[in-house]
Amino acid sequence: MFEIFGDGHDYDWALAVEDEDEDEFAENEYDEDEDEDDIESGGGNRSRNAKKVTLKDVYDLQDLKKNLMTDEDIIIRKKDIPERFQEIRQGIQSYDESLTDDERKLENKWISDKIANYKNFQPGSDLSEFEEAIGFAINFISKENLEVPFIYAYRRNYISSKTADGFVLNEDDLWEIVYLDIEFHSIVYKKRYVENFYKQLNVFDSVVEEYFANQTTKTDLNALQDIYNYLEFNYAQEINQVLQKQSKKHLKYSNYEKFKNSSLYQVVKDFGISSEHLGENIINQTQIHPVVDHPTMAPKEAVSAALVNDADQVSIFASNHKLALETVVKYLALEISHNTHIRERVRHDFYQYYVADVKLTPKGKSEIQKGSPYEDIKYAINRTPQSFHKNPDVFLRMLEAEQQHYLQVSIHMSSQSQYTEHLFHECLESTDTNEIAVEWNEMRKKVFEKSLEKIFHDIASEIKDNLKKMCETLISRNVRHAFLRRLDQAPYIPNVKDAKIPKVLSITCGNGKFGSDAIIATLVNRKSELAREFKIVANPFDRKQQEGARGGFESRFEEIVNVCQPNCIAINGPNPQTSRFVKKLQEIITRKRLIDGRSGNLIPLFFVDDQVAICYQHSKKSEEEFPGKSILVKYCIALARYLHSPLLEYASLSAEELICLNIHPHQSLLPKEFLTRCLESCFVDIVNLVGVEINKTVDNKYYSRLLPYVSGFGKRKAIDFVESLQRLNEPLLARQQLITHGILQKTIFMNASGFLYIDWNTDHKNKNGKKKNKISHYEEEFEHDLLDSTRIHPEDYHLATKVAADALETDPDIIKEKEENRTMNEFVEMLQKDPDGKEKLESLNLEQYAEELEKNTGARKLNNLNTIVLELLDGFEELRNDFHPMTNEEIFYNLTGETDRTFFKGCIIPIRVEHFRNNGGEIICVSNSGIECTVPAQRHLGYQQRRPAIDIYEMGKTYPAKILYINYDNISCEVSLLPHDIEQQYVPIHYSKDPSIWDIQQEIRDLEKEREITMMEARAKRKHRVINHPYYYPFTGRQAEDYLRSKERGDFVIRQSSLGDDHLAITWKLDKDLFQHVDILEQDKENPLSIGKTLIVENERYHDLDQIIVDYLQNKVRLLNEITNNEKFKNGTKKEVIKFVEDYSKVNPNRSVYYFSFNYDHPGWFYLMFKINDRSKLYVWNVKLTHTGYYLVNYNYPTVIQLCNGFKTLLKSNRTQRTSGGGATSSGNSNVNVNTSNGATTGTSY
């Protein structure tokens, strides 16, 4: 632990100085009058108030963070709240006082609903008892600051059903409640922020008032976000007034405010229904507020009338009524989409009927093939939330593939268009059939579809986040269970009758190159300390050495075993040669009768999981612990220690090393922080199940690594705990000393004391490591309490002594006398000495006792009573599962590195021929992973052709083979080399292709397209054209780019095109790593391999290649140089140029700015980025490079100067459109599409 956290004494002197300064300041404190006198006297006493020396003044901040000595760390150390709770509660102000009684009730219901999803209750079940248990758990966590292990061990009757077959909140649930509690506090904090935000606006809104009135009965973060967005949208002017007082300005919906105050808003009023009434219609699914059509005007006429009434204010629309109508539709749709009632109803329906599909990108179509981790989701459709609950990895892999641009995840209602149509007909469509009504209904439908489109998009984003969180939680539970199985292993005990930690001889054969690589062995004693190490250079498989010959492997191994007298032998290695070595060792042990002296049986030899050993052998910790030792020695030490305690070995790994372990197939889908938190919770559960011996942690650094995981502890409190014990300079004799000596505070003691025990069978040593012979005066102050070596919590000691007294059937008067004398613990000692103590304890009626106790005191103690009985019989009995030896299948995958997905019956693998056996009848081969592969005589061509296999197959050559049978015991397999076997490869499908959840039609279309492309590529490869031209090269598109990469700008090659025999292509270099491929269409060809007499490039006709080079390409190069040399051209990526424009605009706020830059996504195009001023959005237009000039917005400009002037003219003429939102678009979009036709297809290789 000290290597991880430091020894805690690095800063002692600085802390001492800090304490002295505090004392000095307290002694020399003076009042204001004395201070004034001091100033008048010239500051003679000023030295008294000299600045305190703090750790920050002495050490670098990074060093303080590394050693957990920052101000925040000191606060966590001193605060009487579990360290893990303090860490996760950071950022929540006044956590203890942050919730009202109503909010606590709401939290109870909210968390109960969340946890119930994992408990599989029957529909209609009464959950009142379950909700009560959740309430107890929340109270224990948030109010009493009790950690999960304490609650599960000592408050279990509060978190479980009173019926024997009822529910129990397990540790998974309790950990989930811990984090849901934090999430709920965050929701409450956001709600209060929105509420305060609303009050600052000083407005009254019935929608908002209704929302906050209902918050005592429900909590929905999405609904809260709706309210916030609603306020921002509808009260932009009021928000601006509030923010102006803070010198800020709110611009998000300023345009809507302008529209709302214009005459065009009259068209919204003529819409026939307000958004508020429409919301009520949708909530009720009927027209309780009928839609009223305008009696005389259609929408276009209403717009015209509005423009006539206020021509000055809306002059920008005077000549463009179509744009005015589009603006009305846009803002009316926004207004409807922000209506909270509409969003609430749509959200409710959406959550009930949504499904998820994937839409492949071109990259996904080409790269997701058989064997890909995304193979099973390539054509996934109609996936329901229930399916993700069953297979949570599926959705997370969808998101992962989406991040890598393989696909897009689409979440939508199963019948979304029909749903929209239904709502429109029921709630918004007018029943009139005249022409005016029809036009208004068309407009209403357009507005409604636009508004629902936005709502659907927002809800889909919400669901995506919720599904991600749910799936991560489910997978984290699976990872937890997998890691708990690894930690939940007791030390290996060879002899159950003599249950002692064994001496372990661990051995490894390195890389398995016998004769050249040394064999390393180490002896680790019962204290997990390295006792001896050995190196064997002899080859165990050298037949030239006689059996037992001096210096041979057998004699050397026998000598090591006789000297070390191990109780077991542990082994592992990096490849299948280790299995061969194990068989040799087993043979020697059996033949030589190498016996374990303690049990009298042959010394057991077995494989040990080496994941921890592999991490440890290369770690910094191993170098510090065993400096100068070889990697294999450290590997063997870790193998032996794993036998002694898998828990301690895992605890010795750092967080980075832990997450690198292969624990669960889906662990990589979890964020690093989530995975680390999940693994830490496993340590906390198991460490507190096992318990920690207090005095052993003082001088055993290896053992003390468990302390941070004790309930209530953490890294910082563990350091303080060890330091406090070291300062005593004596062993701790009683748990009560943890309080009386100020080692633990009340809450931490409550959490930890039941899991910290004192072992009276251990010889105590003083600080110098010497064994104590006499009882000191310090020890005489405390009586040895046998309960201190049990799992019984100090709060239940009195209960335990009462149980012991009742089991002994002690007279009530004697019990009363013992209580008065405070000697009740004598009954415990008497019970343990009683030979019939077990039967007497088992005869007690604990259920009746627990009922009486609950009736008299209100405490639920049945589980505690059961614990007391068990612990009185055997304190801190081993509760972990037995040590788990590796199975043959696990050994197979461990030594080969294969998995059940890469090596299975029926798959095709490459094998290398090693030698022939049985006169060439059998062929012995080896796979890439070192697995021995046998080809039977009937499974190769030699048998069919009646020829020796050696005449057909060459030694050392690799051939494809099909696996017929796998022998996991011997790490070998049988394979076939017959062609008909290899052609019939079996590829298991681990997923369903049911048409209801798999887009079979799309898969067929993509396969056909892929087949066509394959045929075209094959056709292109079959015919290699030879063109008699100095610039022609037999290159592909990629080869042409690689060739031109080192050339100058404007260099080019002519090459064959992949589009067919009637196409050629020119690849030319525009800039570093930027190339354009220009298609040349050939016409009037004499034969398929000749050049066409007419060549067409971008719809221009040329008679030969030289004319294309001179008239087309050289002009392009000249124009390219002209624009890149212009002062308005900026090199760099789109992101870099955007940043430059933004920065320039900030420095020059009142000036417009524009720059050209390369479009790397579409070679041959340029970005034109500009801002009107610093308050405007950044706009991006596209400019195409042609051989005659620069093409921008349907016009070709011959020079850069003309291009710049034309741009400015366009900007002035389009200012009206841009102001209204109908012209240029902001960064990330283009109003001028990149046209890839006319022979200038960019970004494509021919």
- As a whole number of angstroms, the distance between CA 1159 and CA 1230 comes to 12
User: 790, 757 in Cβ contact below 8 A?
Assistant: yes
Mean pLDDT of 666-671: 94
209: pLDDT strictly greater than 60: yes
778: pLDDT strictly greater than 60: no
Q: In what order do the strands lie in the sheet with 1179-1185?
A: 1153-1158, 1165-1171, 1179-1185, 1190-1192, 1195-1197
Long-range contact pairs involving 668-672 (C-beta distance under 8 Å, separation at least 24):
669/393, 669/396, 669/397, 669/400, 669/471, 669/472, 669/475, 670/472, 670/475, 670/476, 670/479, 671/472
Residue 28 in domain:
no
CATH number of the domain residue 503 falls in: 3.30.420.140
- As a whole number of angstroms, the distance between CA 1061 and CA 1022 comes to 11
Are residues 250 and 194 part of one domain? yes
Of 258, 289, 304, the position where a domain reaches its end is 258
Q: Which carries the bigger pLDDT value, residue 255 or residue 1118?
A: 1118
Residue 1017 in domain:
no
Are residues 112 and 175 part of one domain? yes
546: pLDDT strictly greater than 70: no
CATH number of the domain residue 869 falls in: 1.10.10.2740
Of 1214, 1129, 1142, 1134, the closest CA to residue 1176 belongs to: 1142
- As a whole number of angstroms, the distance between CA 844 and CA 1145 comes to 84
Mean pLDDT of 829-833: 88
Determine the pLDDT at residue 311. 58
Burial of 242 (C-beta count, 10 Å sphere; 0-12/13-18/19+): middle
Q: Which carries the bigger pLDDT value, residue 39 or residue 723?
A: 723
User: 574, 610 in Cβ contact below 8 A?
Assistant: no
At 895, list the tokens: 């030594």
Q: Which amino acid is at 120?
A: N
Are residues 542 and 634 part of one domain? yes
Are residues 1051 and 1167 part of one domain? no
- As a whole number of angstroms, the distance between CA 771 and CA 912 comes to 63
Residue 847 in domain:
yes
At 337, list the tokens: 């989409």
Q: How confident is the model at residue 772 (pLDDT cuts 50, 70, 90)?
A: very low
- 899-935 burial, b at 16+ Cβ within 10 Å, e below that, comes to eeeebeeeebbebebeebeeebbbbebebebbbbbbb
Query: Around 1084, how many Cα atoms within 13 Å sit in the side-chain half-sphere?
Result: 8
544: pLDDT strictly greater than 80: no
Are residues 1055 and 915 part of one domain? no
Mean pLDDT of 891-898: 92
- Name the least confident of 369-383, 477-491, 899-913, 1228-1242: 1228-1242
Residue 428 in domain:
no
Determine the pLDDT at residue 771. 45
Q: How confident is the model at residue 313 (pLDDT cuts 50, 70, 90)?
A: low
DSSP string, 467-522: HHHHHHHHHHHHHHHHHHHHHSBPPP-S-GGG--PPPEEEEE-TTS-BTTBPEEEE
56: pLDDT strictly greater than 70: no
- Containing 1166, the helix (H) or strand (E) segment is strand 1165-1171
Are residues 138 and 240 part of one domain? yes
Q: Which carries the bigger pLDDT value, residue 45 or residue 672?
A: 672
Mean pLDDT of 221-228: 90
CATH number of the domain residue 149 falls in: 1.10.10.650
Of 286, 288, 320, the closest CA to residue 303 belongs to: 320
Determine the pLDDT at residue 726. 92
Of 313, 354, 325, the closest CA to residue 463 belongs to: 354
Burial of 21 (C-beta count, 10 Å sphere; 0-12/13-18/19+): middle
Of 610, 644, 678, the position where a domain reaches its end is 644
Instruction: Give the C-alpha distances (Å, rounded to integers) separating 427 from 277, 278, 346, 349, 423.
Output: 10, 7, 13, 15, 6
Determine the pLDDT at residue 928. 92
Q: How confident is the model at residue 156 (pLDDT cuts 50, 70, 90)?
A: very high
Of 184, 181, 212, the closest CA to residue 196 belongs to: 212
- As a whole number of angstroms, the distance between CA 374 and CA 203 comes to 52
Largest distance between two CA atoms of the chain: 123
- As a whole number of angstroms, the distance between CA 725 and CA 767 comes to 10
Determine the pLDDT at residue 762. 55
User: 454, 656 in Cβ contact below 8 A?
Assistant: no
Neighbours of 415 (CB within 10 A): 12
CATH number of the domain residue 1204 falls in: 3.30.505.10
Q: Which residues contact 953 (CB under 8 A, 6 or more apart)?
A: 913, 923, 940, 942, 959, 977
Determine the pLDDT at residue 825. 84
Instruction: Give the C-alpha distances (Å, rounded to integers) separating 224 from 220, 396, 524.
Output: 6, 27, 61
Q: Helix (H, G, I), strand (E, B), or coil: what is residue 1114?
A: helix
Determine the pLDDT at residue 1022. 54
Residue 1074 in domain:
yes
Determine the pLDDT at residue 1216. 54
Query: What does the pLDDT look like over 72-119, one tens digit per residue?
Result: 889 999 999 999 999 999 888 778 777 888 889 999 999 999 998 888
E strand segments, 313-405: 354-360
- As a whole number of angstroms, the distance between CA 28 and CA 703 comes to 46
Q: Which domain holds residue 1177?
A: 1126-1212
Determine the pLDDT at residue 550. 63
Q: Helix (H, G, I), strand (E, B), or coil: what is residue 692?
A: strand
Q: Helix (H, G, I), strand (E, B), or coil: what is residue 538?
A: coil
147-151, 304-308, 1225-1229: which has the highest mean pLDDT? 147-151
Mean pLDDT of 183-208: 90
- Containing 1076, the helix (H) or strand (E) segment is strand 1074-1083
- Name the least confident of 11-15, 559-563, 580-584, 752-756: 11-15
Are residues 583 and 522 part of one domain? yes
Determine the pLDDT at residue 1215. 67
Provide the whole-model pTM: 0.76
Mean pLDDT of 20-29: 42
49: pLDDT strictly greater than 60: no
Q: Which carries the bigger pLDDT value, residue 909 or residue 921?
A: 909
Q: How confident is the model at residue 1236 (pLDDT cuts 50, 70, 90)?
A: very low
At 937, list the tokens: 């005589």
Are residues 1180 and 1093 part of one domain? no
- As a whole number of angstroms, the distance between CA 378 and CA 384 comes to 16
63: pLDDT strictly greater than 80: no
Determine the pLDDT at residue 329. 93
- As a whole number of angstroms, the distance between CA 867 and CA 853 comes to 16
- Based on the structure, what is the number of domains in the chain? 6
Residue 379 in domain:
no
Mean pLDDT of 415-419: 93
- Name the least confident of 296-305, 1011-1020, 1219-1228: 1219-1228
- As a whole number of angstroms, the distance between CA 85 and CA 89 comes to 6
Query: What does the pLDDT look like over 274-303, one tens digit per residue?
Result: 999 999 999 999 999 999 998 899 999 998
1128: pLDDT strictly greater than 50: yes
- As a whole number of angstroms, the distance between CA 1144 and CA 169 comes to 60
Angle, alpha carbons 294-300-301 (nearest 5°): 60
Determine the pLDDT at residue 31. 43
Mean pLDDT of 631-649: 95
Mean pLDDT of 50-60: 63
Are residues 830 and 931 part of one domain? no
Instruction: Give the C-alpha distances (Å, rounded to integers) separating 1189 from 293, 1069, 1207, 1238.
Output: 54, 18, 14, 15
Query: What does the pLDDT look like over 1134-1151, one tens digit per residue?
Result: 999 999 999 888 888 888
Of 202, 229, 258, the position where a domain reaches its end is 258
Instruction: Give the C-alpha distances (Å, rounded to integers) separating 370 from 363, 373, 1017, 1112.
Output: 15, 9, 21, 45
Neighbours of 1066 (CB within 10 A): 24
Query: What does the pLDDT look like over 503-513, one tens digit per residue?
Result: 999 999 988 88
- As a whole number of angstroms, the distance between CA 1047 and CA 1051 comes to 6
Determine the pLDDT at residue 1019. 60
766: pLDDT strictly greater than 70: no
Q: Helix (H, G, I), strand (E, B), or coil: what is residue 987?
A: coil
Mean pLDDT of 234-245: 83
Q: How confident is the model at residue 1051 (pLDDT cuts 50, 70, 90)?
A: very high
Query: What does the pLDDT look like over 131-146, one tens digit per residue?
Result: 999 999 999 999 999 9
E strand segments, 594-660: 605-607
Residue 80 in domain:
no
Are residues 892 and 857 part of one domain? no
Question: Crossing angle, helix 846-857 and helix 797-807, to 10 degrees?
Answer: 140
Are residues 871 and 892 part of one domain? no
The share of the chain scoring above pLDDT 70, in percent, equals 88
User: 1178, 1226 in Cβ contact below 8 A?
Assistant: yes
Are residues 223 and 105 part of one domain? yes
Query: Around 759, how many Cα atoms within 13 Å sit in the side-chain half-sphere?
Result: 14
Q: N- to C-terminal Cα distance for the chain?
A: 62
User: 868, 846 in Cβ contact below 8 A?
Assistant: no
Q: How confident is the model at residue 5 (pLDDT cuts 50, 70, 90)?
A: very low
User: 151, 138 in Cβ contact below 8 A?
Assistant: no
* Average pLDDT, rounded, for the chain: 86
Q: How many residues are present in the chain?
A: 1246
Residue 762 in domain:
no
